[in-house]
């Protein structure tokens, strides 16, 4: 195979590579050391015996099939040869990538997989390069047969097809995302955050948008989860932070450079939060932009603190030391332990939209929000309510003394140009 393997630096996570091969290309040879598994995106691959006496085709695989997966078990020699039977595209999944992904799994699932692999390693006899358990051809045949006979296909068969489909979709999306980062197809939109007491724009939250050349504007819900699973989110958050910093002076200028400057908040994925040197990385971007650190706020969800609260607090205090604002995002949806609030170096809470949508007609929710606001104030944190859609929500939130609000009622996320216009139209007039 024409190997264009890129060595990955410690900061650059291992990624799946998509490789195009002409018919007849040898992907690996019997005797080669096992180091990667492969998933076929397009075309056909034959696994051949490759003995002096016989070059029998052991199995022919097609799009969606996985082969060479024994590389996950050990780095022994390949027991067969894999050849592209026609022009073929495969994703190369290095062992490094697979083990890296496994580390980011739910710890219980990772433990179970490790136990199964360990057991397999100890008990197996040498298997050919594909155990054939995940062949889409086979499972589809079973599905077709089950349709004919009217019998239900076993759940596991349907699940394999579904999983293969999802895995391929994710691999394709990951490649697409990396290309899109290079082509700079991402930009932040800015949603106004209003000081509820003063009735003035206090700042903006930057929310990522993908300007896809064919699909138009793609919302974060459609790509951020995959970006998080594949570590691409590091690149995205870095890009948005840079662009948000660049927007800060423009938004302030539109407000007539007020004494209390407008801030811009930036989402920091829990995945990024724990990367080594995150404080230095963020600090460097902010410094290079020349923006005052207090004009930038990082929004972090509670999930970032769960695994290692001590380390999390260390990172938070690093951000605080730089002078950045820090908000606990989506408050109320996660583990929401009110008891640790005072231990964290944060300065604000964002109450999740799911509460705000019920605040004006559910007494209980109103009471909960009031309690959260009071407690936050006791800890000297200010509170932002998310997802305000109605005037009644604003009234209720003013009643409970909530500091700031954000939602479609005040304004949807806007392009930078429109956000600047929004400030010009609303800053002096008030809201
Ligand atoms: P989030 O941080 O909780 O952002 C608020 C989401 O609620 C945004 O969705 C916003 O458009 C939406 N929203 C605001 N006001 C209202 C309202 O009144 N009604 C309704 N129905 N929705 C409202 P969006 O932009 O689709 O973002 C979704 C999520 O994607 C964000 O949730 C955040 O978790 C993530 N995200 C967005 N941008 C970034 C980014 O740059 N980096 C990272 N890591 N995640 C991001
Ligand atoms: Ca947010
Ligand atoms: Ca939120």
Rounded to an integer, what is the distance from CA 326 to the centroid of its chain? Answer: 20
Mean pLDDT of 246-273: 96
CA of 97 to the centre of ligand 1 (A): 29
Q: Which atom of ligand 1 is nearest to the CA of 389?
A: 18
pLDDT at position 410 is: 97
pLDDT band at 79 (very low <50, low <70, confident <90, very high): confident
For residue 135, pLDDT beyond 60: no
Average model confidence (pLDDT) across the chain: 88
pLDDT digits (tens, 9 = 90+) for 15-34: 788 999 999 999 999 999 98
pLDDT digits (tens, 9 = 90+) for 61-70: 999 889 998 8
Go through 352-370 and write b for each residue having 16 or more CB atoms within 10 A of its CB, e for each that does not.
Answer: bbebbbbbbeeeebbebbb
pLDDT band at 9 (very low <50, low <70, confident <90, very high): very low
pLDDT at position 133 is: 46
Does residue 413 have its Cβ closer than 6 Å to ligand 1? yes
Mean pLDDT of 363-369: 93
CA of 112 to the centre of ligand 1 (A): 34
CA neighbor of 153 nearest in space, from 168, 164, 163, 141? 141
pLDDT digits (tens, 9 = 90+) for 88-111: 999 999 988 888 887 777 777 877
Does residue 369 have its Cβ closer than 6 Å to ligand 1? no
For residue 407, pLDDT beyond 60: yes
Range with lowest mean pLDDT among 138-142, 212-216, 217-221, 356-360: 138-142
Range with lowest mean pLDDT among 51-60, 92-101, 143-152, 248-257: 143-152
Q: Which atom of ligand 1 is nearest to the CA of 266?
A: 41
Does residue 272 have its Cβ closer than 6 Å to ligand 1? no
pLDDT at position 102 is: 77
Q: Work out the percent of the chain whose per-residue pLDDT is above 70.
A: 87
CA of 383 to the centre of ligand 1 (A): 17
Closest residue to atom 20 of ligand 1, CA basis: 387
CA neighbor of 173 nearest in space, from 191, 165, 261, 251? 165
For residue 10, pLDDT beyond 50: no
Mean pLDDT of 110-125: 72
CA of 386 to the centre of ligand 1 (A): 10
Report the length, in residues, of the chain.
431
pLDDT at position 279 is: 97
CA of 386 to the centre of ligand 2 (A): 9
Q: Which atom of ligand 1 is nearest to the CA of 272?
A: 44
pLDDT digits (tens, 9 = 90+) for 206-255: 999 999 999 999 999 999 999 998 889 999 999 999 999 999 999 999 99
CA neighbor of 320 nearest in space, from 343, 297, 342? 297
At 197, list the tokens.
């007491």
What is the distance between the alpha carbons of residues 276 and 4, in angstroms, rounded to a whole number? 28
3-state secondary structure the chain: CCCCCCCCCCCCCCCCEEEEECCCCEEECCCCECCEEEEEEECEEEEECCCCCCCCEEEEEECCCEECHHHHCCCCECCCEEEECCCEEEEEEEHHHHHHHHHCCCHHHHHHHHHHHHHHHHHCCCCCCCCCCCCHHHHHHHHHHHHHHCCCCCHHHHHHHHHHHHHHHHHHHHHHHHHHHHCCCEEEEEEEEEECCCCEEEEEEEEEEEEECCCEEECHHHCHHHHHHCCCHHHHHHHHHHHHHHHHHHHHHHCCCCCCCCEEEEECCHHHHCCCCHHHHHHHHHHHHCCCHHHEEEEEECHHHHCCHHHHHHHHHHHHHHCCEEEEEEECCCCCCHHHHHHCCCCEEEECHHHHCCCCCCHHHHHHHHHHHHHHHHCCCEEEECCCCCHHHHHHHHHCCCCEECCCCCCCCECHHHHHHHHHHHCCCCC
pLDDT digits (tens, 9 = 90+) for 161-201: 777 788 888 889 999 999 999 999 999 999 999 999 999 99
First to last CA, the chain: 63
Residues, beta carbon < 5 Å, ion ligand 2:
267, 299, 329
Q: Are 248 and 264 in contact (CB under 8 A)?
A: yes
pLDDT digits (tens, 9 = 90+) for 367-396: 999 999 999 999 999 999 999 999 999 999
pLDDT band at 7 (very low <50, low <70, confident <90, very high): very low
């Amino acid at each position: 195979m024409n190997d264009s393997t890129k060595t990955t630096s410690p900061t650059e996570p291992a990624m799946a590579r998509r490789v195009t091969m002409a018919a007849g290309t040898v992907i690996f040879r019997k005797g080669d050391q096992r180091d990667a598994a492969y998933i076929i995106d397009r075309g056909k691959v034959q696994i051949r015996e490759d003995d002096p006496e016989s070059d029998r085709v052991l199995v022919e695989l097609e799009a969606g099939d996985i082969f060479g997966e024994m590389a996950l078990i050990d780095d022994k020699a390949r027991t067969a040869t894999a050849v592209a039977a026609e022009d073929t595209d495969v994703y190369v999944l290095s062992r490094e990538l697979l083990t890296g992904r496994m580390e980011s799994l739910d710890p219980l699932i990772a433990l179970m997989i490790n136990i199964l692999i360990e057991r397999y390693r100890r008990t197996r006899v040498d298997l050919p390069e594909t155990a054939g358990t995940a062949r889409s051809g086979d499972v589809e045949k079973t599905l077709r047969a089950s349709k004919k006979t009217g019998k239900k296909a076993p759940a596991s068969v349907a699940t394999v097809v579904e999983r293969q489909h999802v895995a391929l979709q994710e691999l394709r999306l990951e490649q697409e995302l990396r290309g899109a980062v290079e082509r700079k197809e991402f930009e932040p939109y800015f949603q106004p955050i209003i000081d509820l007491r003063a009735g003035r724009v206090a700042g903006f939250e930057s929310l990522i948008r993908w300007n896809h050349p064919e699909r138009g504007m793609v919302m974060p819900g459609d790509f951020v989860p995959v970006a998080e699973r594949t570590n691409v989110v590091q690149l995205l958050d870095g890009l948005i932070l840079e662009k948000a910093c660049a927007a800060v002076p423009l938004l302030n200028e539109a407000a007539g450079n007020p004494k209390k400057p407008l801030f811009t908040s930036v989402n920091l994925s829990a995945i990024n939060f724990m990367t080594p040197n995150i404080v230095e990385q963020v600090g460097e971007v902010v410094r290079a932009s020349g923006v005052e650190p207090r004009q930038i706020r990082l929004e972090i969800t509670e999930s970032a603190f769960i695994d290692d609260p001590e380390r999390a607090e260390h990172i938070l205090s690093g951000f605080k030391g730089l002078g950045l604002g820090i908000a606990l995002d989506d408050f109320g949806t996660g583990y929401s332990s009110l008891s640790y609030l005072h231990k964290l170096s944060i300065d604000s809470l964002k109450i999740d939209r799911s509460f705000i949508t019920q605040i004006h007609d559910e007494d209980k929710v109103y009471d909960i929000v009031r309690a959260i606001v009071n407690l936050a104030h006791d800890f000297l944190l200010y509170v932002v309510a998310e997802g305000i859609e109605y005037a009644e929500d604003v009234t209720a939130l003013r009643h409970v003394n909530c500091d700031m609000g954000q939602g479609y009622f005040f304004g949807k996320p806007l392009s930078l140009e429109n956000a600047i216009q929004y400030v010009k139209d609303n800053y002096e007039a008030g809201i």
